[in-house]
């Protein structure tokens, strides 16, 4: 029993100490370890993107002005042809015969004019001697005038026959690339309706895209500018590569499309290697006017809440402060900050998921 009394007293003392410690309030939570990156100002170059289509600045459909059978093709499909190069020939025998007939008719009427002139001269001399009736002289003058009119008509017929004959040979109206022929040897064609082929000029080429009508003043100013940076218009091809030539505004449509409130714009690109083809799809990159020295931070530091963007910044008291920011374009893993931060602010990039405004943090910069 003597030994039990001290033991019981010790247990009572221990129980009393434990009760006092449990009644003490809990201390503040430990700081959250985070990673900090300073917001910095850097050269930020970014582009607005527009779906675009390459178009030939000069393109024409070849159609014949005379009918007949195709008797000759004088080109390779898809090749470059030069202005005036012979492309198609239509059976010209009918047109050659018509031309020769018109020339014969002209010679006949010219002979009639000569005879009428001789008769008129002879009758006029006789009339001066009162050896012939005046009515005969008048009739001779009328015959001469009629023959002259017939000569003019015959000359017009010769010109028309010559034109039809020339139309039986179809030549390239300008230098460009010719497409696949829509007719073959022996095919019968109708004047004005049968499509033979298409020729498109390839250097330079146009690129068409549409803008919102609210952007019209911006592009009008770009068109009026006497000089512009070579990086203003860049073209991304369908394979993802960037076209090496720079562009300039060629034309802006005269009006706004009422249903879509858009305006068509055409940019011209040099095409010396013929990489751009009529109808090709591309993406036009237009240098954003906000490009320049901009504040950027890592994109992963941004969180979205109810459609608004926020970041956490480590303050001087080692506490996290949440700030609302206005975002600009994303540049790979960086994001432009238009409002809400200043250069040098220590932005929390890792560990902010567990933070609230005012939470203590333990910073580890990099």
pLDDT of residue 8: 47
Banded model confidence at residue 67, pLDDT cuts 50, 70, 90: very high
pLDDT for residue 284 is more than 80? yes
Mean pLDDT of 143-171: 88
Banded model confidence at residue 20, pLDDT cuts 50, 70, 90: low
List, by residue range, all CATH 2.40.420.20 domains of the chain. Answer: 32-44+292-365
Structure confidence by residue, pLDDT tens digits, 202-226: 889 999 999 998 889 888 988 887 7
pLDDT for residue 121 is more than 80? no
Banded model confidence at residue 1, pLDDT cuts 50, 70, 90: very low
* Domain at 92-167: CATH architecture: Orthogonal Bundle (1.10)
- pLDDT above 90: percentage of residues in the chain: 35
Please tell me the least confidently modeled range out of 69-73, 89-93, 158-162, 345-349.
345-349
pLDDT for residue 366 is more than 70? no
- pLDDT above 70: percentage of residues in the chain: 88
**Whether this model's pTM surpasses 0.85:** no
pLDDT for residue 26 is more than 70? no
Q: What dotted CATH number matches 32-44+292-365?
A: 2.40.420.20
List, by residue range, all CATH 1.10.287 domains of the chain. Answer: 92-167
Q: What dotted CATH number matches 50-57+202-287?
A: 2.40.30.170
Please tell me the least confidently modeled range out of 22-26, 28-32, 101-105.
22-26
pLDDT for residue 200 is more than 80? yes
pLDDT of residue 16: 52
Residue 95: how many CB atoms within 10 A of its CB? Answer: 21
pLDDT for residue 362 is more than 90? no
pLDDT of residue 63: 94
List, by residue range, all CATH 2.40.30.170 domains of the chain. Answer: 50-57+202-287
pLDDT of residue 5: 46
pLDDT of residue 228: 67
């Amino acid at each position: 029993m003597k030994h039990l009394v001290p033991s019981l007293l010790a247990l009572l003392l221990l129980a009393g100490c434990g009760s006092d410690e449990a009644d003490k309030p809990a201390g503040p939570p430990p700081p959250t370890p985070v990673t900090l990156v300073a917001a910095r100002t850097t050269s930020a170059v970014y582009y607005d993107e527009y779906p675009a289509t390459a178009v030939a600045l000069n393109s024409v459909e070849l159609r014949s002005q005379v009918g007949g059978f195709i008797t000759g093709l004088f080109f390779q499909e898809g090749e470059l042809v030069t202005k005036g190069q012979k492309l198609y020939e239509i059976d010209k025998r009918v047109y050659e015969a018509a031309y020769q007939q018109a020339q014969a008719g002209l010679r006949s009427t010219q002979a009639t004019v000569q005879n009428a002139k001789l008769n008129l001269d002879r009758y006029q001399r006789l009339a001066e001697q009162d050896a012939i009736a005046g009515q005969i002289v008048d009739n001779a003058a009328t015959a001469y005038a009629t023959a002259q009119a017939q000569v003019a008509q015959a000359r017009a017929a010769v010109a028309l026959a010559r034109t039809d004959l020339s139309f039986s040979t179809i030549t390239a109206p300008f230098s460009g690339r010719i497409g696949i022929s829509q007719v073959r040897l022996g095919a019968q064609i109708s004047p004005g309706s049968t499509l033979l082929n298409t020729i498109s000029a390839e250097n330079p080429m146009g690129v068409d895209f549409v803008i919102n009508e609210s952007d019209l003043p911006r592009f009008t100013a770009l068109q009026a500018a006497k000089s512009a940076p070579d990086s203003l218009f860049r073209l991304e091809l369908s394979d993802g590569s960037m076209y090496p030539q720079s562009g300039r505004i060629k034309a802006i449509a005269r009006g706004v499309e009422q249903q879509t409130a858009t305006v068509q714009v055409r940019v011209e690109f040099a095409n010396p290697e013929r990489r751009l083809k009529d109808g090709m799809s591309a993406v036009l990159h237009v240098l954003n006017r906000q490009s320049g020295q901009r504040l950027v931070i890592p994109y992963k530091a941004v969180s979205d809440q109810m459609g608004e963007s926020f970041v956490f910044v480590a303050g001087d008291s080692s506490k996290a402060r949440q700030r609302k920011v206005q975002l600009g374009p994303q540049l790979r893993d960086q994001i432009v900050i238009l409002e809400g931060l200043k250069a040098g602010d220590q932005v929390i990039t890792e560990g902010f998921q567990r933070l609230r405004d005012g939470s203590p943090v333990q910073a580890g910069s990099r």
